[in-house]
Amino acid sequence: MKKILGISLMLMMVFALLTGCATTPAATAPAATEAAAATEAPAATAQAPAERTVIKFAAQADSTPATQAVVDAYNASQELYTVEWVDMTNDSGAMREQILTSMQAGSSDYDVLSMDVVWAGEFAAAGYIAPIDQLMQADGLKVSQFNAGSMTAGNYNAKQYTLPFFPDLGLLYFRKDIVSTEDAATLVSGKYTYADLQAMAEKYMGQGGTTDGIVFQAKLYEGLVCNLTEYTAGWTDVEGGLVALKAMVDSSASPADILNYSEGETHNSFIKGASVFARNWPYQWGMIASDGTISQDVVDVAPLPGGSTVGGWLLGINKNSVHQEGAWDFMKFVATDGQKIMSVQGGYLPGYNQMLTDADVIAANAMLSMPGFQNALATTISRPVSAHYSETSDAIMNAAHAYLSGEMELTAAVDAIKAALAN
């Protein structure tokens, strides 16, 4: 499924970005009324505003202002609901455990859930989230109006359970004020190896006020699986990928504590001007603008040598939510009009196709038009396809991290990862 996800994301995005093709705008449905809201509201004085129904949105911490801005815009757009963002960890595996515990207990605490593409299918299969086909149809929304790979990731047994919160893909960010024009052109073309990248990181480290050559995600968590997907060129060369990643970890160009780096440590380094190269997701572009000490003018992006891992987050409705209509109304807003806010304020890749050709989005998010970004979209790869993804991912990250820390031999790590992939 994830292979299809990667390929369809690539095809759809390249088509949309390179041809400027816009899809039919969605019909904007009038705000739904929720009977429950009316009956639950206390009969206050005639002048008092009707009490709004609270919708709880369980979503990961956002390093950009975008998620809060989307919630605020929704709350200001109508009078029936107040969305409260339950701010969760942005460690994908830890967040899955947290939500899983709530879902397994049949809890109605969260109304709308944000889910990583690698575990949304599991939630649908387990019956934790509600199918949305009829809701989409009633509001004139079509699957084809949204990012294809994201929609595939939330489709189970021919039913649609999710809409995109934001699609993701791995990118190499680099300082174009430090890297030579020739090296920049090589990077943007994607025709380089991890050994070439390591040599460049070692060569440029220290220039332009930097202290590190390169930063990436090598901590023991899901981000390591994403990075290893890229180093192994989509799991086609497990041994080569491990060796190249260990060389990068051991190189003086990466920080001494790189084995504890997640996305947060990565962006903190890059946006503060401490590193020449950083592997991260599109949101880092938005962070340069919102929190950076460097400006977007000195940054370019490139595809990664073995391809760019597809990621992203999806929105779904807790099947046990007692506010199904409100949950849908908010989720629909985030996935349609809200995509402009996500892209303009957060640098996110829009999951609603018509936003890819929206003039405001294009003007505000220059990265979407950069050749290196488009080349990355053309070379997307997937994490392993598995019916038990979280077990596969745990086995891979444990073996890889043990090898990178010098606690496991290469052959043992390769064997453990190959066994996990075959499972």
- By CB under 6 A, residue 341 contacts ligand GLC: no
HSE, CB side, 13 Å, CA atoms: give it for residue 388. Answer: 9
CB nearer to ligand GLC: pick between 305 and 311 = 311
Q: What residue type is assigned to position 146 of the chain?
A: F
- Residue 243 φ/ψ, nearest 5 degrees: -65, -45
- By CB under 6 A, residue 154 contacts ligand GLC: no
Q: Which residues contact 333 (CB under 8 A, 6 or more apart)?
A: 70, 73, 74, 77
Scanning residues 58 to 97, which ones bind ligand GLC (CB under 6 A)? 92
CB nearer to ligand GLC: pick between 225 and 299 = 225
Q: Which of 6, 312, 346, 372 is in the footprint of ligand GLC by CB under 6 A?
A: 312
Q: Which of 154, 223, 305, 338 is in the footprint of ligand GLC by CB under 6 A?
A: 223
To ligand GLC, the closest distance from the beta carbon of 264 in angstroms equals 10
Choose one: 31-39, 44-52, 238-246, 305-313; the region binding ligand GLC (CB under 6 A): 305-313
- By CB under 6 A, residue 226 contacts ligand GLC: yes
Q: Which of 26, 55, 83, 117 is in the footprint of ligand GLC by CB under 6 A?
A: 117
To ligand GLC, the closest distance from the beta carbon of 262 in angstroms equals 7
- By CB under 6 A, residue 286 contacts ligand GLC: no
Element (H, E) at 205: none
CB nearer to ligand GLC: pick between 85 and 192 = 85
Write each residue from 248 to 267 as x if it is in contact with ligand GLC (CB under 6 A), else as -, in one continuous string.
---------------x----
DSSP 348-406: PPPSBGGGGG-HHHHHH-GGGG-HHHHHHHTTEE-PPP-TTHHHHHHHHHHHHHHHHTT
Q: Which of 139, 183, 212, 222 is in the footprint of ligand GLC by CB under 6 A?
A: 222
Handedness of CA 120, 123, 129, 133 (dihedral sign): positive
Q: What is the SS3 string spanning 139-167?
A: CCCCHHHECHHHHHHCEECCEECCEEEEE
- By CB under 6 A, residue 230 contacts ligand GLC: no
112: left (phi over 0), alpha (psi -120 to 50) or beta: beta
Binding site for ligand GLC (CB under 6 A): 92, 116-118, 168, 222-223, 226, 263, 281, 311-313
